[in-house]
A = this chain, B = another copy of it.
Amino acid sequence: MSSTKILQVNGRSYPWMKQPVVVVCVDGCEQEYINQAIQAGVTPFLKKMVAQGTVLSGDCVVPSFTNPNNLSIVTGVPPSVHGICGNYFLDREANQEVMMNDAKYLRAGTILAAFSDAGAKVAVVTAKDKLRSLLGHKMRGICFSAEKADQATLEQNGIDNLLELVGMPLPSVYSAELSEFVFAAGVKLLETRRPDIMYLSTTDYIQHKFAPGTPGANAFYAMMDDYLTQLDELGAVIGLTADHGMNAKTDSAGKPNVIYLQDVLDAKIGSGKTRVILPITDPYVVHHGALGSYATVYLNEGADLESVSRQISAIPGIELVLTRTDAAARFELPADRIGDLVVVSERLTVIGTAATRHDLSELNLPLRSHGGISEQRVPLMFNRRLGAIPSDHRVRNFDVFYLAMNGAV
């Protein structure tokens, strides 16, 4: 492998790495989490990254959800290219909500797969299993989730005996330990297997619960800081970013500000005229009750696009309503997998379908969530000084591999 070898993936150039490259996607990492943790003095390594490395801000993909952004990060391109624009979309022919976590929905190859094809040692560790098959698509190497670490096999995951390797018990899917397992595994993998590229992707369980700078949040970042220190000491080039930000979605009493959009539209336009899909919906809803700041609306016969759009725009708390075409253009989404309208709510407000379809009793803390434009700004941090970035380049979270591999001196 020559040091000048360059791989082309989805139209972007990635030079062969000289040191191991570790990209960390910290789920729900609003920039303020890092700022406050540094202020509180609990993250000496992040502070060192500020002083000696590079700190950027970038835009994530809207909808600011986990899957579209993780896929953008590992493909280096927006959902218009890779196809994954949420957890769910409506299959119009079957008239069914379809989960998009199967690799058959992926329309672009990943940087990880390309490098593994070219002979690089690649490892992927994700917190929840829902992302594993998408991230590991066509990739040779190690790929497993913390959630199902106990079930990992050499055949399926390229590794086994994980609990022993990592030295932690299997974490609960709703825990800070689920993310800690990801970091701990990353350190052990770098120590024992030294992959050329590693992608570590956590879960936002903590960020949904705790505001930036509060004890629960700072404890998480202190934990993360310790593992980052180890990855750095092992010689890795580290690029850290987030899939999306996170904001409080409540009033001063902690009551969530929810627009039950299906209820509103049924009342205004008539039952059955529209179908509201919340692409945040996934099998793990305890921490957000399937409530985010983004929805897509499919219109049935008899519903007028312009009139529905106008009525949604008039609802207090709605930030933006776009037609399919405009949303696909502005947010770089696959037009065939979004509804006739895309709806984004304001920072403090989330969108639900029908009140009866959201069980808020499971929310034991005031709602914090994401999905909107208000969660688009995310950190990009590197433990190396990067070269200058052209001032007209809009930095994206999915530039992280590109910057880590091209820009690290």
Contact = CB atoms under 8 A, between A and B. Distances in A.
A365 B33 CA distance: 15
Nearest to A391: B316
A250 to B, nearest CB: 6
Contact of A254 (B39, B316, B374): B39
A257 interface: yes
A366 interface: yes
Interface in A203-231: 211-214
Interface string A26-41: 0000011111101110
Interface string A239-258: 00000000010111111010
A347 B316 CA distance: 19
A57 B211 contact: no
A36 B214 contact: yes
A172 B257 CA distance: 38
A184 interface: no
A34 B254 CA distance: 9
Contacts of A379: 251-252
A348 interface: yes
A255 B39 CA distance: 12
Interface string A12-49: 00000000000000000001111110111000000000
Looking at A32, A255, A366, A394, the one whose CB has the most chain B CB atoms below 10 A away is A32
Given A211-B211, A212-B211, A214-B214, A35 B347 contact: no
A365 to B, nearest CB: 7
A194 interface: no
Interface string A244-276: 000010111111010000000000000000000
Contacts of A250: 31-32, 35
Nearest to A245: B348
A251 B31 contact: yes
A252 B365 contact: no
Nearest to A379: B252
A253 B214 contact: no
A405 interface: no
Contacts of A377: 348
A248 B219 CA distance: 21
The 10 A-B pairs at the shortest CB distance, nearest first, are namely A252-B379, A34-B252, A31-B252, A213-B214, A55-B253, A50-B253, A211-B213, A57-B251, A35-B254, A32-B248
